[in-house]
Structure 1
Amino acid sequence: MMKQALIGEFMHEAENTRKLLSMIPDSALEYRPQPHLWSVGQLASHIAEVYNWYEPTFDLDDFDMGSYKYDKGDISKAANILARFEENVSKAKTVIENSDESKYMNNWIMSAGGNALMPAMPKIQVIRGFLYNHLYHHRGELISHLRATGNKVPSLYGPNYEESQAF
């Protein structure tokens, strides 16, 4: 039952993420609102990469970030980031579908070289917080970055600003 709820939310939100990533123009990829913040391209790449974390989160009880190999790919074109997203989201969906719901309450930990990076918590809490909510947070940042460059953003949970002005 939990698995079906996770899949439903996953599919709905993957479509929202797809809509957002599809609206990124190449001209905005280098924009960053402040020097210490990620650029649009880096942020979009990170969003696409989060879907690679589904397998070690669902299938392992200890995700060793020390051995994880982050590969953002070629972020010089928005189409490349979207293609990476499509590849990763497909794999993540399969991971959820094949997951064992009886293990959702197993304690899960993120470590690096044997050192805990965060306290152990039930896997379902990590799935909701570390995978799902983390992604939504970064989508919000990306929307802010795109708005700052004068680009349009999609409506995700109802009309966006432009659409609301039409009423």
Structure 2
Amino acid sequence: MQRDQLLAGRYRLLERLGSGGMSAVHRAYDEVLERDVAVKVLVDTDTNARQRIRGEAKAAARLSHPHVTSVYDYGESALDGVEVPFVVMELLGGHTLEHRLAVGPLPPRAGLRVCAEVASALAAAHDQGLVHRDIKPGNVMLTPTGAKVLDFGIAAAAGAPEIDFEGRP
């Protein structure tokens, strides 16, 4: 993926913010609503990976909570001749908790605040029947308005059968 590529005729990809095994997150500009957003683009074209990213988008979009990253859109778009799925999310300022902890421990009051905010986000997910399953410092963003839980990529519906990375029960 290159800078200035357009997804779905509206999301202009800018710089890469990060990447994982299956996807890359870019700062992007929504040309319709004229705002900056984060776009998570699947780089693995496997069918099961497509199902997982769509499931992530659906799961996170069900949540409306001040400590959960908002999902705005899901779509598929041609990039370099291949249809790729993507999720559009709010663009957050700040750093991950993992990045912050590399500097040293949080002061006790700040640490307790982060724990309470993450617990509140997880409680909201649980109220919707979702289990995050990957809470770690790298999936918590410290923003000027508080902690935000990221990446519902391996979330599961409570009580649903476990599915492995190949999509098998």
What TM-score do the two structures reach when normalised by structure 2?
0.31
Q: Answer 1 or 2: which has greater strand percent.
A: 2
What TM-score do the two structures reach when normalised by structure 1?
0.31
Q: Answer 1 or 2: which has greater helix percent.
A: 1
